[in-house]
Chain A
Amino acid sequence: MDHDHQDLPSDPALRVMALESLLVEKGLVDPAALDALIDTYEHKVGPRNGARVVARAWVDPEFKKRLLADGGSAITELGYATQGREHLVVVENAPQRHNLVVCTLCSCYPWPVLGLPPVWYKSTPYRSRAVIDPRGVLREFGLDLDKDVEIRVWDSTSEMRYLVLPERPAGSGGMSEEQLAELVTRDAMIGTAKVTLTGAQR
């Protein structure tokens, strides 16, 4: 099969413009719906959603229980699964256990709670190495885990999506749920970082 499609212009921007114009003319897509889809993930849905889920779990033990038992139902309590359900599993870090999420086969990622994935998550180095060399990958992220810490890598091969519940940082006892959410980074919820009091590199 010819996958090169020389018929469309080679510059991706021009190719996409030509394709969109054809599809609009055929009545297959509505440009306003495209704008709304883009706006959703540029401005409305992103890692702040996941951060609020994590902060809630840190301050509300009953919510945390529900979240770990059925993540997809629990996030509806915060309004993050508009269908009322979601295929989501939340995995909890502990002093001796660290979780890391990858999709070796493509780019599966928990969109409703983290938004669209960063380029590195979809990159060949991350996809190829996270399962065979998680410690090496984590060191590149500045996380050097003790060899006694158990690492669990979650390869997202199905429609189930995975979110890491990071450890609450020491010294955060007096903070409000809102302040805690500010500490939680995207990378901490993928498992390539820990949450720190100075954290907020997203």
Chain B
Amino acid sequence: MNGVHDMGGMHGMGSVAREAEEPVFHERWEARVYALNRALAALGKWNIDASRHSIERIPPSDYLRMSYYEKWLAGLVTRLEESGLVTRAELESGRPAPGAVKATPPLTAERVAATPTERDWFERPVNAAPRFAVGDRVRAKKIHPTGHTRLPRYARGNLGIIDRTHGAHVFPDSNAHFQGENPQYLYSVQFSARELWGEEAAAHDSVYIDLWESYLDPA
């Protein structure tokens, strides 16, 4: 979707504000939101692409106003409701529905200790051969999907060169909507800064973007 989250190349956002000796979390509730997101993901009711899409659907004015973990919280509440894990009535009352069966949490402290940086694996075996090879010229499609996509607007319609192949990966555009993983080849595509931004850009600079095969046409 052409949301405000797709902000590469936008102007007017100001300078980059840094904080010396920044803590990992500024408030305890941020840490809890972070951990709730990780722990609830283990239930398998959604995937990382659906998570991202729940945050992208935050209305633009709210998206720009909210802090990072406020967005994580809003996305989480959306997913809890949409997945049916929690009902609106439960959110309103703060109590489980009468007669609700208590579940068993899938993520335990022991599992966290054993695999502290546990992360899903997204590469999948496929039968097809890659359509493109390193060095091939490609053009990012000019498309405007209304659902989730990882093809940034600033790349669309532009000419690039295949820099490397990452193998076949889960396709976010379908996975985010629970329409299957549909793995396809993923490439790192080099776009010259001048192709993306015009002649004012530095001659030698490039942006490398990871793009799935169906985002690309031969050129």
Contacts and interface: CB of A to CB of B under 8 A. Distances in A.
Interface stretch (A51-59, A132-140, A175-183): A132-140
Contact of B29 (A12, A89, A123): A12
Interface string A115-139: 1101110111111111110110100
A127 B154 CA distance: 12
A145 to B, nearest CB: 9
Interface string B128-148: 000000000000000000000
Contacts of B25: 38, 42
Interface residues of B, number: 103
Contacts of A132: 8-9, 154, 196-197
B210 A155 contact: yes
A20 B74 CA distance: 14
A131 to B, nearest CB: 5
Contacts of B152: 104-105, 155, 157
A38 B31 contact: yes
Contacts of A126: 16
Given A30-B107, A155-B208, A155-B210, A81 B117 contact: yes
B103 to A, nearest CB: 4
A18 B92 CA distance: 10
Given A86-B119, A104-B152, A128 B8 contact: yes
B105 A28 contact: yes
B127 interface: no
A21 interface: yes
Interface in A76-117: 80-83, 85-87, 89, 102, 104-107, 111-112, 115-116
A158 B5 contact: no
Given A22-B96, A29-B36, A7 B43 contact: no
B100 A26 contact: yes
Contacts of B208: 152-155
A201 B18 CA distance: 12
A107 B28 CA distance: 20
Contacts of B95: 22, 25
A17 B31 CA distance: 11
Contacts of A44: 116
A144 interface: no
B29 A141 contact: no
Given A13-B28, A119-B22, A131-B9, A33 B107 contact: yes
A92 to B, nearest CB: 13
Contact of B206 (A3, A42, A82, A152): A152
A130 B107 CA distance: 36
A39 B211 CA distance: 34
Given A37-B34, A83-B121, A131-B207, A118 B108 contact: no
Contact of B122 (A82, A157, A159): A159
Contacts of A41: 24, 34
Given A17-B29, A155-B208, A125 B17 contact: yes
B17 A123 contact: yes
Given A23-B40, A128-B13, A132-B8, A40 B117 contact: yes
Contacts of A129: 13, 16
Contacts of B98: none
23 contacts: A7-B91, A8-B91, A15-B29, A18-B94, A19-B91, A21-B94, A26-B102, A27-B105, A29-B107, A32-B109, A38-B31, A38-B34, A82-B115, A82-B116, A86-B119, A105-B152, A135-B202, A141-B18, A147-B202, A150-B204, A152-B208, A158-B150, A159-B169
Given A3-B62, A13-B28, A29-B36, 6 more contacts: A12-B73, A20-B32, A41-B24, A83-B118, A125-B17, A127-B7
Q: Can you list the 6 inter-chain pairs with the closest CB atoms, starting with the nearest? A: A104-B8, A158-B210, A27-B103, A36-B112, A34-B35, A27-B102
